[in-house]
Amino acid sequence: MLKFLKKDNGSITVEATLIIPIFLAFILALTTFVKISIAEMALQDAVDETAQAVGHYSYLAMLAQGQIQDQTDGFVDSLTEGAAGKLGNNEVAEAILDKLGEIGKDVIPTSGDALNHFSNDMYQGIVQRKYEENVYSTNFFSPDTVTVTNSSFPHGTSGEAADVKIEAENSMKMVIPFMEKDIKIKKVVVERGWVGNG
């Protein structure tokens, strides 16, 4: 009668060795996807908060831009008037100097246009700090992997010229068993600046 009884002690061990690695891989993949979701939300919040802050203070920046533009225009006008005074009442010379003055005013950028050349660098540190405040700095959530790729500062009162635009991306390495992949999360925010009616 003992011959008919089967021993199944080893079958549990075989099943466990097949199921446990699959279960652990599933848990690690789920954890990685949760981390990526947290990083995505943190990047969205960082870009949103930065764009809102810039939008709120853009009216003051527009006032400063107007003052800078007035000073620039006044400087160019004084140069052309000074040169015209030295040439006497020559109509051709005055016409040429007026045209050069108009070109000079167009060539010298307003402060808003000039700020757009530096806006990526300006926004970079702010977005990284806000990102770090949301997730703290760890190997996976490093703020150093966040970069501002495209941005603009308001330089007018209507249309796209009145918008704050920030485009940022976060490059991360997704590591799960049997797979390693680089992923990029990209977020774009456009906020209307408080620059008055346009």
Q: What is the pTM of this model?
A: 0.67
Q: Is residue 152 part of a domain?
A: yes
Name which of 77, 78, 97 is nearest 87 in CA terms.
97
Q: Is residue 138 part of a domain?
A: yes
Q: Is residue 28 part of a domain?
A: yes
Backbone torsions φ then ψ of 158, nearest 5 degrees: -145, 155
Domain of 102 in residue numbering reads as: 12-192
Alpha-carbon gap, residue 110 to 124, rounded angstroms: 22
Radius of gyration, alpha carbons of the chain: 31
Q: Is residue 67 part of a domain?
A: yes
Q: Is residue 5 part of a domain?
A: no
Q: Is residue 1 part of a domain?
A: no
Q: Which two tokens stand for residue 5?
A: 């009884």
Q: Is residue 4 part of a domain?
A: no
pLDDT in tens, the chain (198 residues): 455 555 555 566 777 788 888 888 889 888 888 999 999 999 999 999 999 988 887 777 666 666 666 666 555 566 556 555 555 555 555 555 565 556 655 555 554 455 566 678 888 989 999 999 998 878 888 899 999 999 888 777 778 878 889 999 999 888 776 778 899 999 999 988 877 665
Alpha-carbon gap, residue 109 to 112, rounded angstroms: 8
Into how many domains does the chain fold?
A: 1
pLDDT for residue 166: 92
Judged on CB neighbours under 10 Å (0-12, 13-18, 19+), 194 is middle
